[in-house]
Chain A
Amino acid sequence: MAKSRTKGLVVGATMFVTGLLYFLLASRIPGSGGVDASFFPHMLSIGMILLGAIHLLQSWRQPVAAMPQEMSDDIVEQARATAEDEDALAGEMAPDYLSVVLSLLLIGFFVLLMRPIGFIFAASIYLFLQIALLSPSGKPIPWFRLALMAVVVSAAIFFLFRYGFSLMLPAGPLTPFLS
């Protein structure tokens, strides 16, 4: 309960601050007064600030878990439970935030390297490392098979899009060899 209340307060504060930042940025838009280019951004930011304040207040007054739900029909409740089944399966384990950060870094490097080393190499490296990172624990990772799959899939995507759908993905060092 206390945890969801804290979460509610953090989310509410984030909503409030987002609105405030957006308001400050909107104030820098050159305008003529009245309904100009800054009118809607200002209105939106005021809305965000108000909603953030309401959410903060709601979270402060009662735990998030007890907040009113839109629908309380038994079937709807059952639907909610079913929809969350999958997440619940994974949810029994603590979220692996290290894995999230590493995955984001891998994606970042993939995008960063795409132009200089070309799509095939960048995607191969990304796929290899990402699949290895998420491979089931307790089982040996089939490194060779994984590397082969990463290269084959990346090359297949590259050639399919380049020659099949005329999409010129960055070829990097392979450029002189391609027509």
Chain B
Amino acid sequence: MVDLFAAGLLAAIQPQMLLLIFLGVVVGIIFGSIPGLTAVMAIALCLPMTYGMAPAAGMSLLVALFVGATSGGLIAAILLKIPGTPSSIATTFDGGPMMEKGEGVKALGAGIVFSFIGTILSIIALVFVAPALARVALSFGPHEYFAIAIFSLTLIATLSSGSMTMGIFSGLVGFAVSTVGIAPVDATRRFTFGMVELNSGFSILAVLVGMFAIAEVIKVAEAGRAGSNIRITAPVMKGVKGFGFSMKEFFEQLPNGFRSAVIGIVIGILPGIGAGTSNILAYIAARSRSRTPEEFGKGTLEGVVAPEAANNAGIGGAMIPLLTLGIPGDAVTAILLGGLMMHGIQPGPMLFVTQADLVYTIFAALTVSAIVMLIVEFYGLRIFVKLLAIPRHILLPMILVLCAVGAFGLASRIFDIWTVLGFGILGYAFVKAGIPTAPFIIGFILGPMAETNFRRGLQLSQGDYTGFLTNPISGAFLALAALSIIWQIWSGMRKRPARTSS
């Protein structure tokens, strides 16, 4: 393992790779810091640039974007009190007040350093857990994969924001969209309406770009010309130098940072609940364990360290199911999965056997990205702060054009751009109806996995359905899926009388 990681590190510090990682981190931080721009957009826009690259170089660029965008959210969260990304929501609670108290530099410094620590700890977990899990997963058959897909789908649908019916519905629609094209096992054409372009179904990237990037552009259009009057003014950064906190404060925050990182890693591994949730849970844990919980919300360093360590720790955590089982936990890892598949790489346990060098290059690229992120944010903070003032009505149309380029690049077809537009409208409709989009994406990706493995599993057990329940791993995951639904219904019913009485 050490040899493979060392070889990966050697590959990642080659000049071309370093340059790509540097660019990825910088672009990622820009997208993470500007509210309204997301990590998904950053990766979607840079994907066409990787078409001509070797898989290792392409994936290094994409993971660098992931690291940069996750960390970049803290800049707007602290300076503007607006989370650049959902993973920095809790950072605003104390980062904003610290800025108002004149401790903005300290908050930014602590956020950056503990983002770095969170990332590194999660990479360590990834390096040790992923190969072991992959070894276990090698023995998985269709029964296990079907159960894991159903468990993941249930988890994301029940835990996503909004009502549970909406979450499950969103997952089912995503699953339904994935049934377009040639069916697995018996190759029957479904829902193609005689269109040859639909035979292979919808591209995962077209769906993701449409649902996330185009829907965002339409949302800006909804605010109209009056909305463009809302201008974000970049804060004055005069006299900003260093990380702004002492070594004593650093050591005091270490247990909090470590605990938060563990929360981030564990939450990151679970499908469906990524950094958007872990930063809030880490904040709650930090407050309950703090000697001064009353200071939370008024501008305490602990309140910045906890969410920032947790959200970046989700990076390594989310990569574990992605690489070992091919299951993405959220939209960002879903688009990374798309990137891998575009380069002809099928994530799963076999990846660790057939392309171990690539896997370890990705691990190394993540490590180098974390270091680059620390350096770039330390020296380049003033520049990123200036970028916050770029008006969105100029930026988003350009992003739309780049999305169109990315979609066209999939197969040099205008059809794919229409698909992106169609899913953009669907994404906007979801937003207006209050239906969460994340379960849709996971349903779209895991749907074919569930269907294929269900039908194969039935073939293996000669049409006997009980095979899915008698297999210990499959049975356990299906039981967990059922428990998750029952628990959600029960907690919903428990809250209802309380609310009614209040």
Contact = CB atoms under 8 A, between A and B. Distances in A.
Contact of B176 (A7, A22, A75, A90): A22
A73 B495 contact: no
Most chain A beta-carbon neighbours within 10 Å: one of B51, B393, B450:
B393
Contacts of A167: 48, 51, 405, 408-409
Classify chain A: how many residues form its interface, as a range: 35 or more
A73 B285 CA distance: 12
B218 A165 contact: no
Contacts of A100: 218, 221-222, 428
B402 interface: yes
Interface in B186-214: 186, 188, 190-191, 214
A136 B393 contact: yes
A86 B373 CA distance: 27
Interface residues of B, number: 90
A103 B221 CA distance: 7
A51 B409 CA distance: 37
Contacts of A111: 404, 414, 417-418, 421
A44 B172 contact: yes
A130 B52 contact: no
B179 A93 contact: no
Contacts of B291: none
Interface in A31-78: 31-32, 34-38, 40-41, 44-45, 47-48, 51-52, 54-55, 58, 66-70, 72-73, 75-76, 78
Contact of B458 (A15, A35, A47, A76): A35
Prevailing SS type, chain B contact patch:
helix
B90 A75 contact: yes
B173 interface: yes
Interface string B461-495: 00100000000000000000000000010011101
A35 B393 CA distance: 50
B284 A75 contact: yes
Given A79-B89, A136-B229, A107 B400 contact: yes
B434 A11 contact: yes
Nearest to B188: A37
Nearest to A54: B165
A88 to B, nearest CB: 11
Nearest to B214: A107
B228 interface: yes
B405 A78 contact: no
A91 to B, nearest CB: 9
B440 interface: no
Most chain A beta-carbon neighbours within 10 Å: one of B83, B397, B405:
B397
A134 B220 CA distance: 8
Contacts of A37: 183, 185-186, 188, 190
A134 B217 CA distance: 11
B179 A96 contact: no
Contacts of A31: 188
A96 B226 contact: yes
A70 B176 contact: no
A69 to B, nearest CB: 7
B424 to A, nearest CB: 8
Given A35-B458, A37-B188, A130-B397, A99 B222 contact: yes
B227 interface: yes
Given A29-B190, A93-B227, A102-B221, 7 more contacts: A11-B435, A41-B190, A47-B172, A75-B280, A90-B222, A104-B218, A108-B421
14 contacts: A47-B168, A48-B173, A72-B495, A96-B223, A99-B223, A104-B421, A107-B400, A123-B401, A137-B224, A137-B225, A149-B394, A157-B402, A161-B405, A167-B405
